[in-house]
Amino acid sequence: MIYYKLIAVYFVLIGTILLISKELDLVDIPITRKLHKIKVINTSGIAIYIFFLIIVSIDELSPQLETVIVYGSIIVFCGFIDDRINLSPGIKFFLTTFPIIYLIHIGFKVDNLGTYEFIGMIELGKFGFLFTALACSLLMHSYNYTDGIDGLLLLTTLVSLVFGALLVSEDHSILKLISFLIIPIIVSLCINFLPNKSKFKMFVGDSGSLFLGFFISFFIIFLFKYKNVHPAILIWMVWYPVYDFLYVTILRIKKKKKFYVADKAHTHHKLLKIFNNNHFKTSFLITSIIITITYFGYYIANNIGKIFSLLAFILLFFLFSFIRKLYLN
C-alpha cells in the first residue's frame, strides 16, 4: 500500500513542478548540438530530488545515504542554475566539488581498492582523499554525459540501483530505501519517452543528471565501506558512463578541442543515427548491453577472481574504444 501512496505523491509532485515550470518558462532551449527542435521543460530532476528528500524525512533507513541525499541539494542547485544561465566550467566545478569534499571529510573517503589475488591489498594512503574526489567528480559528470537522448540517463541509473540492491539483498532497510528511490526514476522515465510535442514531456536537466551521478558515486562508496562489497564488483555498475566519458574526453583532446565543451561524439549519438533518430530503441539497446556486461563483470569477479575482474575492466575499455573508432566514429 505504501508504494501506491508514494507513486501518487510523486505524480502530484511532478505535476506541480510541471505547472510551475510552464509558468516560469523553465525549459531546455534547442540549439545546434541539441537533438530536440522545440522547447522542452527540463525540471523533472528537481521533482526526483524533492521526492528523495521526502523519503528521507518519513523514514530512517540509512543515515549514510540520507546524508548524501541532503548534501546533494548543492548539486541540484548548481544544475538548476546551469540549465538557466550556463555556468562557466570553473564555477560549475567549484560548486559541485564542495559537497563531494565535505562527504569525503565525514567518512566517505576510499582508503584502498580492495584485496586481490597475487598482489594483496591496493592501498591508496595519502592519495585516498584525492582519488575519491576525482573519482566522484568523474562519475558524476559521466552520468551528466549520458543525458543526451531520451531515457538513457534514467535507465542507466535504474540498472545501477537495481544491481546495488541485488548486492545487498540481505539488508532489508537498504532494499526498502532503494525500492522507494526507484519510483520517481521509473515514472520520470515514462514521461521522458513522451513525444517532444507532448505537454507532459519533461527532461531531468542538469539538476537531475548531476544529482543522480552524485548519488550513484556515493552509493558505490557506501556499498564498499559500509556493506563490504568488493570494488572489483562495484566498478561494473558504472562501466558504460565511465567508458563513454573517457573515450569522448580523449577524443576531444586528440582533436585539440576543449574536453568540457559538449558535442555529439557520444556513443548514444552515434547509435541514434543508426536507429534513424529512434530514442527508445537506442536507449534500450544500450541498456541491454549495460546489463549484459555488468553481469559478465560480476561473474568474473565472483567466479574467476577479483584481479581478473579488474583486468577485464581495463581490457574491455580498449575493446570499447576499438569498436567505437572502427564502427561508430
Domain layout of the chain by residue ranges: 2-327
Q: What are phi and psi of 41, to 5 degrees?
A: -60, 135
Residue 28 belongs to what H/E stretch?
strand 27-28
Q: Of 289 and 86, which is predicted with more confidence?
A: 289
Q: Are 258 and 315 in contact (CB under 8 A)?
A: no
CA separation for the pair 119, 131 (Å, rounded): 20
Q: Are 124 and 111 in contact (CB under 8 A)?
A: yes
Mean pLDDT of 56-67: 91
Percent of the chain with pLDDT over 70: 98
Whether residue 38 has pLDDT greater than 80: no
Q: Are 175 and 165 in contact (CB under 8 A)?
A: yes
Q: Express each pLDDT in 195-237 by its tens digit.
A: 888 889 999 999 999 999 999 999 999 999 999 999 999 999 9
Q: Can you give the pLDDT at residue 279?
A: 94
Cell of 311: 583486468
DSSP 51-107: HHHHHHHH--S-HHHHHHHHHTHHHHHHHHHHHHH---HHHHHHHHHHHHHHHIIII
Q: Express each pLDDT in 134-179 by its tens digit.
A: 999 999 999 999 998 999 999 999 999 999 999 999 999 999 999 9
Query: Residue 91 — very low, low, confident or very high, per pLDDT cuts 50/70/90?
Result: confident
Q: Can you give the pLDDT at residue 302?
A: 96
